[in-house]
Chain A
Amino acid sequence: MSRVRISTIVNGEPVEFLGGGGQSLLDALRDELRLTGSKEGCGTGDCGACSVVVDGRLVCSCLMLAPEAEGKRIETIEGMQEGSELHPLQRQFLEHAALQCGFCTPGLLVASKALLDRNPDPSETEVRYWLAGNMCRCTGYDKVVRAVLDAAAELRQERPR
């Protein structure tokens, strides 16, 4: 009932799929497009594991309906790596062992990239506030914050302003 055709751009590629009127964007990404990097932790916008960027805004894909994606540009964790190269954030997360079970990691990476895209030199406090909507139940946050700050420093070196 009430399946609609939805045209979007996901990680730079035009994509069309059939989605339900009440289906979340997260479910559409995972079940229709088989992009299973975005995770469902809570389904109520509290944990941030489903974080994606829609038209440049960081949002929880569980709190957005699939048909809302019509005509939007969506960026997910699957689009973060450049070719075979990990993004500096991904490398720094590995370097700092900023993950254990890894369930929150895609959301943390997408959220961290959204921060660095708009603020290349965040303070530790800014990182902590920005990531307040991303829960991690095993590693905690210190290694994550250090990984983000080191990735930011690395990116500033790569692309001097």
Chain B
Amino acid sequence: MSGVDYLSPTTIAEAVKALGQAGGGARLMAGGTDLLVQMRGGRAKPQTVIDIKRIPGLMDIRAEGGGFVIGAATSGAVLGEHAALRKAWPGIVEAANLIGSTQVQGRASLGGNLCNASPAADSVPALIAAAAVCIVEGSNGRREIPVEKVQISPGKMSLAPDEILIAFRLPPRPAKSGDAYLRLIPRTEMDIAVVGAGVSLTFDASGTCMAARVSVGAVAPTALLVEGAGMALVGSKLDEGALAKMDAAVAAACKPISDKRGTAEYRTKIACVLARRAALIARERAGA
């Protein structure tokens, strides 16, 4: 790691320019909890590290347009301490707070978790379920892209080489809405998801589900939005029939690998179990 140049731009334009000029030799850094481990292990060999944390807006949470905008480099610890965010989106906050130890929470961010592009990233299914949108800026200007369109395969993203993820936009939360994220690991802390599931639901006054998004992680090359699973719940009161349809949609979407963490069959089965449990927690949180 010697001989690496460190830049800490204070504007997005400056960061975009530095990233473009480096021509693939630079890596962006938020909390660094993945990047520095990769650099140390020799898997990442950047000539330049561009620290984005000194750019205004990248490290905070703002109420905007009835929803929230979360700076891409905001740490898990800050998310966990934000009472209004926790109340509106408990599933996103619990997913972010599952990543690593207290020490890692002091640094690790939603932006880094997404851009590391691991299929097992805990916060990603929760963000997808929430219909979160990424605000991205590069030399061609600013654009917004749904979270589920960012990862394309393990370690690969759809962003242009000089584009920077600057924030996440969370939509306004209707009444009687709730979200939840669950993951399976063989212990209680400090591990990588065998399977993760995020669910976000909105109900009407009679307790009928009006909107549903279901996302699963670690069961395919990227976290998946399972549209059929959400559709199975809409119009129902989460009765057994609707939940069974959701199971079938989740199982059909899963394309997991078998590895030391679990076989493909086990992961598929657990994805259905976690999606169901997360849906029931989301309903309870919605007060429906």
A→B interface (CB under 8 Å): 1-2, 4, 20-24, 43-46, 48, 51, 54, 57-60, 62-65, 67-68, 70, 111, 114-115, 129-134
Contacts and interface: CB of A to CB of B under 8 A. Distances in A.
Interface string B1-19: 1111110100000000000
Interface of B: 1-6, 8, 29, 31-33, 36-37, 39-41, 49, 51, 53, 75, 77, 100-104, 106-107, 188-190
A57 B77 contact: yes
Contacts of A70: 8
A65 B103 contact: no
Nearest to B35: A63
Contacts of A43: 40
A133 to B, nearest CB: 2
A45 B29 CA distance: 16
A45 B104 CA distance: 7
A114 B100 CA distance: 17
A154 to B, nearest CB: 22
B32 A65 contact: yes
Contacts of B36: 24, 45, 62-65
Most buried by B among A44, A65, A130: A65
Most buried by B among A4, A45, A62: A45
A26 B91 CA distance: 34
Contacts of B2: 1, 20, 22-23
Nearest 5 Cβ contacts at the A-B interface = A133-B101, A22-B4, A21-B6, A22-B1, A57-B106
A45 B37 contact: yes
Given A2-B5, A22-B49, A63-B36, 18 more contacts: A22-B39, A43-B40, A45-B33, A45-B100, A48-B103, A51-B103, A58-B103, A60-B103, A60-B104, A63-B37, A64-B32, A65-B29, A65-B36, A111-B102, A111-B103, A130-B102, A132-B190, A133-B103
Most buried by A among B3, B6, B36, B103: B103
A130 B41 CA distance: 27
26 contacts: A1-B2, A2-B4, A2-B5, A24-B1, A24-B36, A43-B40, A45-B100, A45-B101, A45-B103, A58-B102, A59-B106, A63-B31, A63-B33, A63-B37, A63-B104, A64-B32, A64-B107, A65-B32, A65-B36, A68-B51, A68-B53, A70-B8, A129-B102, A130-B102, A132-B101, A134-B101
Contact of A133 (B1, B39, B102, B188): B102
Nearest to A53: B106
B107 A59 contact: yes
A140 B107 CA distance: 26
B190 A67 contact: no
A132 B102 contact: yes
Given A22-B2, A22-B3, A65 B51 contact: yes
Nearest to A133: B101
A132 B36 CA distance: 21
A20 B2 CA distance: 7
A27 to B, nearest CB: 9
